[in-house]
Amino acid sequence: MTDHETKAFFAGGVERHIDSMYSVALRLTRTSTDAEDLVAESVAKAWASVDTLNDQARFRPWIFRIMHNTFISDYRKKSIRPIEASFNDGKNDDDDLATLLNEQSDDFLIWWSNPEREFFNNLLGEQLLEALDDLPEAFRAVILLVNVEGFTYDETAEVLGIAPGTVRSRMKRGRTLLQKALWEQRPGSHEGMNHET
C-alpha cells in the first residue's frame, strides 16, 4: 500500500466507525467533552501506530482497542464512581450469578409481563441510560461493545484484552446487574418511588 492508500483506508475506517466510537466513549467517560477528546486522541494514536494493523479486516477491533487503552490510561480515573468499588469483576461468582438469574430475573419477567410494561415502554430510555452509566466499567464496556455495537465475544475480548470466556461471564453478570437496577427503579419499589418525588 502506498502512503496515500494507507491514509485513504484509515480515513474511511474512521468515517465508518466514528459514531460507534463516540457512542462507546460517551458511555465510558459519561461526559460529551471527554468523549470527544477520547475519540480524537484515539484517532491520533491509531494513526501513529497504523503499522501495527496487520489485517485491514480487523480495523474496527484494532481502533477500539486503542481507544479502550487510551480510556484506561487517561480517562478511567476521572470517570470512576464510588459505587463501583463495591462490585467485583465477575470472577468466581458463578453461584451468585445463577441465583440472580433464577430469582431476580423471574421477578423482572413477571414485571415485564404485567400492565406496568407500559412503564418499560415509556420511561425506560432515561432510566436505562442511568442504570447503564451506573454499571461498573468492566460490565458496561462489554454490554456496549456486544449489545450496542454488535461486536462478537472474540472481538470484544480483543478490544478489552481479556479472554472470550471472561466476556461471556461479564455479559451475563452485567445484564443481570442492569435488570436488577431497572427492577429497583420500577414504580412502587422503594427506589422507584424515590425517583418520582
Partner 1 sequence: MKHDIGCLHAIEAFYAYLDGEIDDPDAIAEFEHHLDHCRSCFSRIEMERALRQRIQKTAKNDSPEVLRDRVAKLMKKF
Residue 124 C-alpha cell reads as 425506560
Q: Which of 60, 68, 175, 186 binds partner 1 (CB under 8 A)?
A: 175
Q: Which of 19, 94, 96, 191 binds partner 1 (CB under 8 A)?
A: 19
Q: Does 122 interact with partner 1 (rule: CB under 8 A)?
A: no
Secondary structure element (H or E) that encloses residue 141, with its range: helix 137-143
Report phi then psi at 181, rounded to 5: -65, -40
Half-sphere exposure of 7 (CA within 13 A, CB side): 3
Q: Which of 16, 32, 58, 163 binds partner 1 (CB under 8 A)?
A: 32
Q: Could you tell me the smallest distance in angstroms from the CB atom of residue 98 to partner 1?
A: 9
Q: Does 170 interact with partner 1 (rule: CB under 8 A)?
A: no
Round to the nearest angstrom and report the end-to-end CA distance of the chain. 61
Q: Could you tell me the smallest distance in angstroms from the CB atom of residue 47 to partner 1?
A: 5
> CB-based contacts of 170: which residues, under 8 Å, 6+ apart?
89, 90, 138, 139, 142, 162
Q: Could you tell me the smallest distance in angstroms from the CB atom of residue 1 to partner 1?
A: 14
**Residue showing cell 464512581:** 81
Q: Which of 5, 125, 190, 197 binds partner 1 (CB under 8 A)?
A: 125
Which residues from 54-113 bind partner 1, rule CB under 8 A?
101-102, 105, 108-109, 112-113
Q: Does 145 interact with partner 1 (rule: CB under 8 A)?
A: no
* Residue 55 CB neighbours (<10 A): 8
**What are the Cα distances from residue 130, in Å, to 9, 27, 67, 108, 162?**
37, 10, 23, 18, 26
Q: Which of 47, 76, 89, 123 binds partner 1 (CB under 8 A)?
A: 47
Q: Does 119 interact with partner 1 (rule: CB under 8 A)?
A: no
Give me the helix-helix angle, 164-185 and 153-160, nearest 10°. Answer: 100
Q: List residues binding partner 1 (CB under 8 A).
A: 7, 10-11, 14, 18-19, 21-23, 26-27, 32, 36, 39-40, 43-44, 47, 101-102, 105, 108-109, 112-113, 120, 124-125, 128-129, 132, 143-144, 146-148, 152-153, 168, 171-172, 175, 178-179
